[in-house]
Chains A and B, each alone.
Chain A
């Protein structure tokens, strides 16, 4: 018990420390693909340190919503991350139905960010908020459909309801038997989660974080007016959210090992996933805004297929 708690806290601290590394890795991979040398891997840390040392420029239009929202978004992501089983030991917070809480905490963070964007009264930021609202509303059923595949797998595996409906059971590492049992739906689930990672974190093909045109952005345009420590909070929160989704996929892919090897394996997979995101961003163009619902529809179809497969046995 105490060992698993230690593993959990080590992993949580690792996540909090290493999360800003992920954008650095993505950027480095993109730079290598483009034949450039690229920014240092630790650029996000440098940015955070610089922003925390600065003052702020606040828009005259804004109210308390604007100053409060980044903190809410960060704390919501943090709480969601704390609910995840990190590295083979279940979260001490784990309870029946904690994935519903995690999903709604992410929604809370998004809600706060959208409101802070609308608070500036800028039409560009309104545009970003409106797009974020739409895509998030479409991504939510996909996320839940995929989680349902996992819950019904663990319910069918004979777990009782109160244990099956928990992130720690769903992402606590799959035993080899599940994979060897010919459960083909398990192959679809990580793919859907990867699409969700791209959508929720506003990466290509949904949103281009490096574009020069505000008209085509989603997430970056919503935070145009933030500066100084508040921008640092937002940048850090975004990195943590990327870690959250990568850790979900890592939880699916790791086998049921003993805690320490599993923890190491998971951290490795999370870092590898950021490389994969970099590769995806390098080889793809951003989709037109009207085509994004089709991408999410495809993901929903895949998870529905997985759900039907899991129920047909």
Chain B
């Protein structure tokens, strides 16, 4: 715990140094200093944090109380397995993103940006995340939450010369604060019911709460934390914010920050069910919310042509999968099935860790592509692998992991969630059995589409021939700037080949999140043994498979020794004069899917075709705007704006009328007082 406190101190110190540099005049010397201090400082702090996590025993529950000046709340921090598991991506990805960000920001012009401010908010984001995951007091939690929600606004706004970036950061800020309003209401309601702010004591004190109050608490918690996690329909900030932010920031936001939403849901469900009055419909609503989010996210991702936007929607999909796991875990817990409970929750938590690794990796790769080519529109790219082979390999590993393909880490989490859904028939009642089985079919659909999506993302961007000048003129990147990518890539492979070890960490966290009764934990124990055995065999099959692939390549090499291996142009069925522009593009690749799911994807196709005898140039544009934003949120906010504008009649700047308002209020209050 001392090491963890030192980490926090280091983050605060780094933040204050950067704050000083932020107010200094922006010359290249300050920019370089800020970059150095920011990258080195946050990387060191993250390493220290990782050491703090692994130094104490994983299952130990530590806590510390620090002096606190405010009349309510307390400065109570605690580390248990759940906090440790969620801090792992924060510090791990925080380290990788700090180093990679430091390396990539060297190329930015210092007169355009305030580097001191950028790194200040990077420190603050890490500090906020570390505090959110460890605070054991509602007031401290809300303060940390605000810190964590505000800092990304400034980080996303790095290229503030671009109006689209400014727009995206406003969308983020609005979403973050509407979520925070729900959370504020949640904690105030908790405080009012129990009279406590300490999160350790709130749970048991909730036993007297009425069912209506509990339902309100559940809805508020899902609304507030769901907005951060990106659950549909509150996901709309993700596809705006992630493409706009610099890539090391989007990697950290997508891999570590949105997990805070999941963490909040896990913790508060733990609190609400501590007094033994958890409701089954909570689990069901989480399960179907997750399923809906997953299906929507993957379909919208398939429709995207911007690589970073595609990755953002894919984060939405993955949060959906994790919420499904959580939901089914709670259903199992309430229906008294230890297998379903343990598998669901630990699967969700394991997938959270895995998602941090591969999504961070993919965003950083996308950042390298953006830096080298100047665009991430897949229709303009192609053939990037020849220019940047290392980035290509890293993206391929990330794509295979996120498509949940076996030797990589994505498969392990999905296998556990599948276990819990597949045990549906052992619950009582046909509607429960069918509910779980139908969700499993939905999950299979999501993972099938995810494989197609990442074949497209990798194939169109990195393979084939360059489609435009952007890709032709890509400047190569060396391992000097790319070495941070090797860390998450190694975690993606290790998470698959050493899945049982990662699984043990997730299981301890799951026990922390969901205290099971003795009968259930006996069942759950058996489930864990089986799951561990399964994961071991999966890793063995993975290792044997890799060895076999190497053997086959070796045999092929021996066979080809002394024979002719000709380099020829690609066979294009007799017509060899085609330009690279006839290659399949991203829109063409997803066209058969668009025929089936076009409406659900929200595709907008704009065709101008000349129908004369000798047709002139035609025009085709395919877009996939988020209809929830254009059809639901934009009209809603416009209505609010016009309502507020209507209220402006009262606010006209005439002082004598303002005095009249006061007089009228006083008289009104007097009359009310006399009547009462």
> Which A residues lie at the B interface, using CB under 8 A?
52, 54-63, 65, 67-68, 71-72, 74-76, 78-79, 83, 93, 95-98, 100-101, 104-105, 107-108, 110-111, 114-115, 117-124, 126-127, 129-131, 133-134, 136-141, 143-145, 148, 151-152, 155-156, 161-162, 165, 214, 224-225, 228-230, 233, 289-290, 293, 304, 307-308, 311-312
**Would you call B400 an interface residue if the criterion is a C-beta within 8 Å of the partner chain's C-beta atoms?**
yes
User: What residues of chain A lie closer than 8 Å to B590, measured between beta carbons?
Assistant: 130
CB B126 to nearest CB in A, in angstroms, measures 35
- Whether A57 pairs with B451 at a CB distance below 8 angstroms is no
- Whether B419 pairs with A96 at a CB distance below 8 angstroms is yes
- Whether A55 pairs with B564 at a CB distance below 8 angstroms is yes
In whole angstroms, how far apart are the Cα atoms of A108 and B569 in the complex?
28
A-B contact pairs, 27 of them (CB 8 A): A58-B565, A59-B567, A63-B463, A78-B548, A79-B544, A101-B541, A104-B404, A104-B411, A104-B447, A105-B541, A107-B405, A119-B463, A121-B570, A122-B572, A123-B572, A123-B582, A134-B592, A134-B596, A136-B451, A137-B451, A143-B444, A148-B440, A155-B425, A161-B426, A228-B563, A229-B559, A289-B592
- Whether B385 pairs with A233 at a CB distance below 8 angstroms is no
**Which A-chain residue is minimally distant from B340 (CB atoms)?**
A161
In whole angstroms, how far apart are the Cα atoms of A67 and B463 in the complex?
13
**Would you call B556 an interface residue if the criterion is a C-beta within 8 Å of the partner chain's C-beta atoms?**
yes
CB B197 to nearest CB in A, in angstroms, measures 42
> Which B residues lie at the A interface, using CB under 8 A?
339, 382-383, 385-386, 389, 392, 396, 400, 403-406, 411, 414-415, 418-419, 422-426, 430, 433-434, 437, 440-442, 444-445, 447-449, 451-452, 454-456, 458-460, 463-465, 526-527, 530-531, 533-534, 537-538, 541, 544-545, 548-549, 552-553, 555-556, 559-560, 563-573, 578, 580, 582-584, 588-593, 595-596
- Whether B573 pairs with A115 at a CB distance below 8 angstroms is no
Q: Which one of A58, A97, A290 contacts B418 once the chains associate, using CB atoms below 8 Å?
A: A97
- Whether B448 pairs with A59 at a CB distance below 8 angstroms is no
User: What residues of chain B lie closer than 8 Å to A115, measured between beta carbons?
Assistant: 396, 455, 458-459, 463
In whole angstroms, how far apart are the Cα atoms of A257 and B426 in the complex?
29
- Whether A61 pairs with B556 at a CB distance below 8 angstroms is no
User: What residues of chain A lie closer than 8 Å to B405, measured between beta carbons?
Assistant: 104, 107-108, 111
User: What residues of chain B lie closer than 8 Å to A71, measured between beta carbons?
Assistant: 549, 552-553, 556
User: What residues of chain A lie closer than 8 Å to B452, measured between beta carbons?
Assistant: 133-134, 136-137
User: What residues of chain A lie closer than 8 Å to B418, measured between beta carbons?
Assistant: 97, 100
- Whether B463 pairs with A122 at a CB distance below 8 angstroms is no
- If A54-B563, A75-B552, A121-B463 touch, does A137 touch B570 (CB 8 Å cutoff)? no
- Whether B541 pairs with A93 at a CB distance below 8 angstroms is yes
Q: Which one of B383, B426, B555 contacts A155 once the chains associate, using CB atoms below 8 Å?
A: B426
In whole angstroms, how far apart are the Cα atoms of A161 and B421 in the complex?
11
In whole angstroms, how far apart are the Cα atoms of A126 and B426 in the complex?
44
**Which A-chain residue is minimally distant from B564 (CB atoms)?**
A55
In whole angstroms, how far apart are the Cα atoms of A152 and B404 in the complex?
24
CB B532 to nearest CB in A, in angstroms, measures 10
In whole angstroms, how far apart are the Cα atoms of A127 and B414 in the complex?
30
- Whether A119 pairs with B464 at a CB distance below 8 angstroms is yes
Secondary structure at chain A's binding surface: helix, strand, loop or mixed? helix
In whole angstroms, how far apart are the Cα atoms of A12 and B587 in the complex?
42
User: What residues of chain B lie closer than 8 Å to A60, measured between beta carbons?
Assistant: 567-570
- Whether B419 pairs with A97 at a CB distance below 8 angstroms is yes
CB A293 to nearest CB in B, in angstroms, measures 5
Counting from the closest, the 3 A-B pairs by CB-CB distance are A126-B584, A118-B459, A140-B448
- Whether A101 pairs with B415 at a CB distance below 8 angstroms is yes
- Whether B448 pairs with A141 at a CB distance below 8 angstroms is yes
Q: Which one of A61, A74, A137 contacts B448 once the chains associate, using CB atoms below 8 Å?
A: A137
- Whether B570 pairs with A122 at a CB distance below 8 angstroms is yes
**Which A-chain residue is minimally distant from B593 (CB atoms)?**
A134
- Whether A133 pairs with B589 at a CB distance below 8 angstroms is yes
CB B447 to nearest CB in A, in angstroms, measures 7
- Whether A129 pairs with B534 at a CB distance below 8 angstroms is no
- Whether B448 pairs with A136 at a CB distance below 8 angstroms is yes
User: What residues of chain A lie closer than 8 Å to B392, measured between beta carbons?
Assistant: 63
Q: Which one of B441, B567, B589 contacts A141 once the chains associate, using CB atoms below 8 Å?
A: B441
- Whether B406 pairs with A101 at a CB distance below 8 angstroms is yes
Of residues B451, B538, B590, B593, which shows the largest number of chain A Cβ atoms within 10 Å of its Cβ? Answer: B451
Q: Which one of A123, A152, A156 contacts B578 once the chains associate, using CB atoms below 8 Å?
A: A123
Q: Which one of B400, B422, B541, B548 contacts A151 once the chains associate, using CB atoms below 8 Å?
A: B422
CB B302 to nearest CB in A, in angstroms, measures 9
CB B320 to nearest CB in A, in angstroms, measures 16
Contacts beyond the supplied A56-B563, A101-B415: 20 A-B pairs with Cβ under 8 Å: A68-B549, A75-B545, A95-B533, A107-B447, A120-B570, A126-B464, A126-B584, A126-B588, A127-B584, A130-B592, A133-B589, A137-B593, A138-B448, A141-B442, A141-B444, A148-B437, A148-B440, A148-B441, A225-B570, A289-B592
User: What residues of chain B lie closer than 8 Å to A67, measured between beta carbons?
Assistant: 553, 556
- Whether A111 pairs with B400 at a CB distance below 8 angstroms is yes
CB B395 to nearest CB in A, in angstroms, measures 11
- Whether A118 pairs with B568 at a CB distance below 8 angstroms is no
- If A56-B560, A101-B541 touch, does A121 touch B566 (CB 8 Å cutoff)? no
User: What residues of chain B lie closer than 8 Å to A214, measured between beta carbons?
Assistant: 573
- Whether A121 pairs with B531 at a CB distance below 8 angstroms is no
User: What residues of chain B lie closer than 8 Å to A122, measured between beta carbons?
Assistant: 570-572, 583
Q: Which one of A111, A118, A139, A148 contacts B464 once the chains associate, using CB atoms below 8 Å?
A: A118
- Whether A118 pairs with B584 at a CB distance below 8 angstroms is yes
- If A74-B552, A151-B422 touch, does A145 touch B569 (CB 8 Å cutoff)? no
**Which B-chain residue is minimally distant from A313 (CB atoms)?**
B430
- Whether A162 pairs with B385 at a CB distance below 8 angstroms is no
- If A60-B569, A93-B537, A129-B584 touch, does A55 touch B451 (CB 8 Å cutoff)? no
In whole angstroms, how far apart are the Cα atoms of A120 and B549 in the complex?
21
In whole angstroms, how far apart are the Cα atoms of A118 and B389 in the complex?
16
Q: Which one of A68, A118, A140 contacts B445 once the chains associate, using CB atoms below 8 Å?
A: A140
**Which B-chain residue is minimally distant from A307 (CB atoms)?**
B437
- If A93-B537, A97-B415 touch, does A162 touch B464 (CB 8 Å cutoff)? no
- Whether A126 pairs with B589 at a CB distance below 8 angstroms is yes
User: What residues of chain B lie closer than 8 Å to A145, measured between beta carbons?
Assistant: 441, 444
CB B602 to nearest CB in A, in angstroms, measures 18
User: What residues of chain B lie closer than 8 Å to A126, measured between beta carbons?
Assistant: 459, 464, 583-584, 588-589
